[in-house]
Structure 1
Amino acid sequence: MPLSSTIEENLQNLINQIKIIYSSPNLESHYLEYFKRQVTQIDERAPDNVKKVEKACFELGIRNVSRFYKVESDYYEWELQRRAFRLVAPSVEHLCKSVIFENTRFPHDEISDPLNSKYYCVMVQYVGSINTQKLMNYIRSLKNKSISKKNYNFRVADVERMVQLTGFEHKGVSPIGMNQSIPIILSKSITELHPPVFYFGAGHKDWKLGMPILDFIKATKCFVTDLL
């Protein structure tokens, strides 16, 4: 049942007020302290892939700043704002996803060189987008543009290949705990979020993971670039 215009207006006003509060510089350090104190636990009923992500968080030394969330099965049918409310995220801008990109002109499946890999795990906000030209230019710059442009053509990897590489199903892809160590590229826009936390897949479509952005970057040693 659609909301009345008055309720919609009041809801939008509330959302705007929340954004103003969260964007306050005085709140940021206190928010991060609170966030890290509220680390959530998972139990034995959690899917194996979620446990795999948690294990990887321990190995990376970031389990103490990781928050796992079990969401409803129809979560992806919800509007972004409802998802943000469900995770107690500061805004819809804090909701992110991981997309596996493939260089279709790469001669083999090698991913050992993060400066020139066939596959990359690209993280972007749901409200954002991925400019494949910028993606190609950035990856090419990692080798000082010594490789010709004709050797690059990035597209989203097909689902079967994505599952094989990550071990995760569609809508449950996590950059942490993947089957293979695919290099990670984080959209620069994510680093500009206030407060500096973000939310993404935790290995299963019904589970999400939130953590401070700087902790993630330090632990994963991911690349950061402008992709919008």
Structure 2
Amino acid sequence: MFEERAIEELIDTISNLYASPKLALYYLDYFKQKAKNNVLVQEAPEPVKHVEQACKELEIRSVTRFYQVESDYYEWELQRRAFRLLAPSRKHLCKSVIFENTHSTHDSIDDPNNSKYYCVIVQYIASINTQKLMNFVRALSDKKISKKHYNFRLASPEKSLELTGFGNGGVSPIGMRNQIPIILSKNILSLQPPIFYLGAGHIDWKLALPADNFVEKTHCYIADLS
């Protein structure tokens, strides 16, 4: 018990150091320098190469880093994953999940203000409040659509794969097969340093980039979801 508490205190100390303005700025500069020199290996899976190409098209490749992780990565506890990626804290690890409005009167994603599906990005340490998600999406249409036409649930793995082209554990909001509207949890914008980590198209690959570059280039929505 004492050892576990000591380790947790050390982790908190490290996270607080990273969050200090001076070190956060240094980390961001260091990260961007590494990103410029980050080359994807030739053996990278095709979905990862597809994500990289999408980053180039969005003009964010120079600030994006790709990481290949071990095959048992998702068996690790969250802090070990953060250490593996050299992430400043557990808070910086995020996931992209596809939500489906099962009460939608249509199957289209063409109108981002009234799509049947949304790609939602949230921190692993946080949960998604589906009521807040519904309220946010409904407000996009000025609440002209009745509440009875909203019921957000996680899309099935099969549907997520069909829509994004990415399998479980590797969903990336960049390079999706279909242009699903993206909603970013607003808490991610408060991270210090302002870097977040995501799936990169394959379960064994991750990517990271500054949150402001992501928001600027993807034109994603930002919402309070927790």
Shift of 1:185: 0.2
- Please tell me whether residue 67 in structure 1 is matched to residue 57 in structure 2: no
Alignment map for 1:28-177 (pairs within 5 Å): 28-39=24-35, 40-177=38-175
SS in structure 2 of the partner of residue 168 of structure 1 = coil
SS in structure 2 of the partner of residue 162 of structure 1 = helix
Shift of 1:44: 1.3
Partner Cα separation in structure 2 for residue 13 and residue 150 of structure 1: 47
SS in structure 1 of the partner of residue 42 of structure 2 = coil
SS in structure 2 of the partner of residue 211 of structure 1 = strand
Q: 1:13-58 deviations in whole A, cap 9, x for unaligned?
A: 3212211211111222222111100112211100000000000000
In the alignment, residue 25 of structure 1 is paired with which amino acid?
A: P
What is the aligned counterpart of 1:26 among 19, 22, 25? 22
Q: Is 78-87 or 99-108 further displaced after alignment?
A: 99-108
SS in structure 2 of the partner of residue 8 of structure 1 = helix
Runs of 4+ in 1 over 3 A off after TM superposition: none
Q: Is 113-122 or 36-45 further displaced after alignment?
A: 36-45
Partner Cα separation in structure 2 for residue 153 and residue 221 of structure 1: 24
Give the equivalent residue in structure 1 for 2:218: 220
Give the equivalent residue in structure 1 for 2:181: 183
- Please tell me whether residue 16 in structure 1 is matched to residue 9 in structure 2: no
SS in structure 2 of the partner of residue 38 of structure 1 = helix
Partner Cα separation in structure 2 for residue 116 and residue 110 of structure 1: 8
In the alignment, residue 184 of structure 2 is paired with which amino acid?
A: L
Question: What 5-or-longer segments of structure 2 have no aligned partner?
Answer: none
In the alignment, residue 196 of structure 2 is paired with which amino acid?
A: F
Partner Cα separation in structure 2 for residue 160 and residue 109 of structure 1: 16
Question: What 5-or-longer segments of structure 1 have no aligned partner?
Answer: none
Shift of 1:159: 1.1
Q: Is 30-39 or 49-58 further displaced after alignment?
A: 30-39
Q: Percent same amino acid at aligned positions?
A: 60
Q: 1:72-118 deviations in whole A, cap 9, x for unaligned?
A: 00000000000000000000010000110001111222111111100
Partner Cα separation in structure 2 for residue 88 and residue 7 of structure 1: 22
Partner Cα separation in structure 1 for residue 125 and residue 131 of structure 2: 19
TM-score scaled by structure 1? 0.96
TM-score scaled by structure 2? 0.97
Partner Cα separation in structure 2 for residue 77 and residue 155 of structure 1: 25
Shift of 1:6: 4.6
In the alignment, residue 208 of structure 1 is paired with which amino acid?
A: K
Partner Cα separation in structure 2 for residue 147 and residue 7 of structure 1: 54
C-alpha RMSD of the superposition: 1.0
Partner Cα separation in structure 2 for residue 52 and residue 58 of structure 1: 10
